[in-house]
Structure 1
Amino acid sequence: MPAETVNRQWLLARRPNGQVSVEDFARHDAPMPRADLAAGEILVRNLMFGFDPAQRGWMDDAPSYLPPIMIDEVVRGSAAARVIASANPAYPEGSMVRGLFGWQDYAVAARAGDPDLVSIPEDIAPEEALGIFGAASLTAYVGMFDVGRLRAGDCVLVSGAAGAVGSVAIQIARLAGARVLGIAGGAEKCRWLVEDYGADAAIDYRCEDVRARLGALAPDGIDLFFDNVGGTILEGGIAHIARFGRIVLCGAISGYNDVRGAVGPRNLMRMISQRAEMCGFILLDHLDRVPAAMADLRQWVRGGQIHYRTDIQHGFGAVPQTFLRLFSGSNQGKQLLRIDGTE
């Protein structure tokens, strides 16, 4: 097939058994989708992919908030794309959109409304649409304000604090007048937390005793814990939760590749004695908050009050390896990939 009629795809070749690997994916060339669209549909050309740890969970054959990716199905993932054909006046040809278009060159979208489909304004670059103005930042906003009920004066702890969600959560807490502690892996990322993102202190889980450090840094306890990690890190937060404290469960990356199941939490009795609460959440349940969140994020980012990093890899062939960077800690900020031409 001529190159312009080929739709390069990455399929889920098998379900990962523990640690996800490149061999779990298979490259496939399919015909480009036809442009004879039904009413409401659009045809998009993906330009950039965004990667999130949650994608690992979608690869398991287990109930979740989204159905599992099927074997030999295009891997579900977010992308920034250009509309190249449209039967939907809300998304005219030539406009930019963001959605779960999957690891492929082309996709037909807007079937049955596709609630994840979002227009990208002209003043927002693709890397911003998938990064600082994407789902990760919106998740941080909703988790802090709506689920965690963030208040000025709170002692706030964020785990996975150097990641796309955690780094924004830290800065939102700082802007709200909280005292903020962050947990990350490695000296460089801990330096980011304090010097770039404004945390009051950072804990390096790779070389420090997290519980001991929390005891020293938060002797009166943690009022709000925004957890992206789970496992023993979640246990540590519970061990130091303040009376009537709140724990927001955003992710559990420590267990995503663990076939044995993550350790803990084994100290839930402390939640009872402290009259604390713990709540999980998904951004999809709070889409009504997106306009307000975007307005605040734009003001903070354009005003220099929120800083961010993006790690941009290149080339369609590097998609699986780029995804794996999330689980080795290699990514230096929000993990993205710019789709180059034929390789």
Structure 2
Amino acid sequence: MKSKQAQYKEHFPKPEMNVKLHETQHGTTPEGKQLIRRGLVLLKDVKEGEVIFSEDPFVSSLFIDKEESDYCSNCLDSVTDFKSSKYCSAKCHKEAWSIFGGNVLYPEDKPEATSPETAQSQQSIRNAVNLAEFCKEKNLITPLLTVKLIGKMMSEEQQGTAGTLSEYSTWDHIDRFHYIDLAKPTDVDGEKIWFASLEQIEKEYKLVFALFNKTPKFDKFLTDERYMVIKGKFLYNAISIISENEVKKTEEKEKPKGEYFKSSTNKSREVGVGLYHIASYLSHSCEPNVEFKFGSLNKEKKAGSLLNVVAKKDLTKGDEIFINFVDTTLNKKQRKRILKEKV
């Protein structure tokens, strides 16, 4: 009998998504290990401008400098008339707490009245503030994504939704993703470049761990090595979410460089980052045949983080689909650095 992971491609993606996973050999490592490139192949003919598939992220977050802007902290849609400045609706407010264990940036902002805070909850708030301030200082988002990811996995565990053959858990999906090895530098034209210093990653890990240190056996799950792998998976697979509306510019001091994610659009319109079940498997091409469009493509209100993969030209069943996910505003060395790790 095949293992659950061996049957993965038989169950995912679902046929209604119009694509299937495709694997090809992509060279070998210096040690002789075979490299596998994963991609998506069409299950039907599509016309130019047709939406091939749409999907919501299973983890997403606003960029740290957008948290005080006009975007929902949960779905990343624009906030209009809801009373909270952090969420677009009561549904999003509640979902942020029920699925992800709350908003790490606003741990005191619970959706309904609660009992007086205990010393432990006060400490939790301090831990959350410490992480948020560190992310703001360093212009980071992967620690926040990691907290949301862990919160979602814990919610699945508590609700008993993880582990069945027909219902792959969040970790089942994450476990299959490639990742950037952050324990060593990337060689770009003979220059050794680190995606993040090991000292910084260690600091991130300790701040994230502090939020869950009361959880039984958590030290067995989130080791420093696993945190580095999870961060590497976000950096390799996550996609920048682009606002279809004009993004307001804010007056602020110059920020650190931060982190790069898959994006072929000018960074001035980015509002956040999402990790997607299916779109994460798209491969790069400098001549892409699909493009990303976010949010609703009609008058129906949908999450701003909803990703639509749209054909740029007529395509035929069996064609592999490609996206250009390198920001063309980056300089040549930056683009080469990203492509070296992600292609």
TM-score in same-fold range (> 0.5): no
TM bracket (short chain): under 0.3
| Higher relative contact order, chain-length normalized (CA < 8 Å, sep 6+) | 2
Q: Give the TM-score normalised by the residue count of structure 1.
A: 0.26
- Higher strand proportion: 1
TM-score normalised over the length of structure 2: 0.26
